[in-house]
Structure 1
Amino acid sequence: MTRVLVVEDDPQLVRALVINMQARRYGVDSAPDGATALRLVAARQPDVVLLDLGLPDMDGVDVIKTLRGWTRVPILVLSARRASDEKVAALDAGADDYVTKPFSMDELMARLRAAVRRTEESPLAAGTMFVETADFTIDLRAKKVVRGAHDVRLTPTEWHLLEILVTHPGRLITQRFLLQEVWGVSRRDKTNYLRVYMAQLRRKLETDPARPRYLITEPGMGYRFEG
C-alpha cells in the first residue's frame, strides 16, 4: 500500500484529502505543522508527502530543505501561492511538483501517481547500468551519482530526468516526452519545470553550468545527454 503524508493545517481540506485517498486505497497520515511533519516522515517513512507552504510554525520551503538533507521522498506542494518566484523557490528547495489551490482531486491523484511511479525501479537494458564521464559517474542500478569522490544528492525528480537522458545518449528527448514521463503532463506551459530542474542538475554535475558539456539544451525542442 502506498503511504501518503498530508502536511496541512486546514482540517476541512485534510478531511477531504484523507477520504479521497483512502477511497483509492492509499494509506494516509496527516500533520498540522512542520515539526510534526518532520517527525512523521522519519517515523512512518511515507512514499509521498503532500505539503502546504503556509504552515503555522514554519514555512513549507524550510520543511522541504530540511527533508532534502536526509531523504529523497517525493514532495508535492499544495499551495495557494501563485507567484512564479514562490513556485521556483519551492522547486529549487527540492519539491518534485507544485499544485496550486484550488485543484481538482483527479489532477492531484494523477500527480501523486506520477510521483510514486518516479521512485519505482525501471528495467534498464544491459550495458546501461553504469555511466562514466570525465567529471562524474552514474550507477543506475544503485541510483547513485559520484562527482569528485563525493556522492551527489539528487531529488527523485532530478534523478528521473537524468535517468531518461543518460539511457538515451546523444538522442534528443523532447520537452513533451519529458513532461509526460516525469510529471504526467504534456502542456507547454509546464516547460518552466524542465528549466528549473535542468538548471539544478547542471549546478550539481557540470563543471561550468553556464556552458554545459553533458546536459545539452536544444532550444524549443528538448534536451540530450552527451557522454
Structure 2
Amino acid sequence: MTDSATLKTMAGEAALAHVEDGMRLGIGTGSTAEAFVRVLAERVRDGMKIVGVTTSNRTETLCAELGVPTETLETVPELDLTIDGADEVDGSLRLIKGGGGALLREKIVAAASERFLVIADASKKVETLGAFPLPIEINGFGMIATYLAIRKAAAGLGLEGDMILRRSGDEPFITDNGHLILDASFGRIGDPEALSQALFAVPGVVEHGLFLGMANTVILAGDDGLETLEA
C-alpha cells in the first residue's frame, strides 16, 4: 500500500495542474494542504507568479519559510481558486473539515474564491458523512449553555454522541480567531443541510465543519492512482 505522505504529495501535484500563472490563490490548512504548498513552492522557485491567501497562521509560516508570496484577504478579497484538504467527502462533494482547527478561515477563504478544489487521500471518501467527528467552533462566553443548545439541536435531528472540547496539551485548543472547538461524534449524518441550519441557529456557534455546496472539484489519491470528482 502507498503510504499516506506519498498519497498527499500525489494529490498536491495533481492540484498544481489547476494553478495558472498570475492566480490569486487560497491556500488551506492541514497535512495535505501543506504537501501542496511544498510542490507549489518548487513551481514558484521556477518562476511561477502567484499570490497566496492562507487560512491559518500555521500555513502562513510554512509559506514564508518556502518563499511562497502571500497577502491577506483584506488586501486580496477576491480569489481565483482555493486549494485545501478535507477530513471527509461524500459523493455529492459535501465535506467535513476542521480537523486542523482552521474551519472558520477555511470557509471564509473558500467562499471568496471563484473555484474551490479539494485534495485528499482516497480514505477520506465516504458514503455518508459523520465517521469523523464534526468540529464546531464556539465562542468561549456561555460555553456550557452553547454546548447544551447544540446537544438539544442535534437530538432534534436524531443525532447523539459525545461532544468533546478540543484540547492542546492540558489547555483548551484556541483557534487563530480566539475561539474554542467542540468535536461532535454524531455518527452518520443523514441530513447535513438540516444539521447545518440547526447549528447556525445556536447563538454561541461561530462556525461548523460542514462545507456544503462549496467544492467544485475533489481530487482523491489512492493506491490505484487519482480519482477526480466534479460537482
What TM-score does the superposition give when structure 2 sets the normalisation length?
0.25
Structure in which a larger fraction of residues adopt strand: 2
Structure with the bigger percentage of helix: 1
Q: Which has the higher contact order (CA 8 A, sep 6+)?
A: 2
Query: How does the TM-score come out when normalised to structure 1?
Result: 0.25
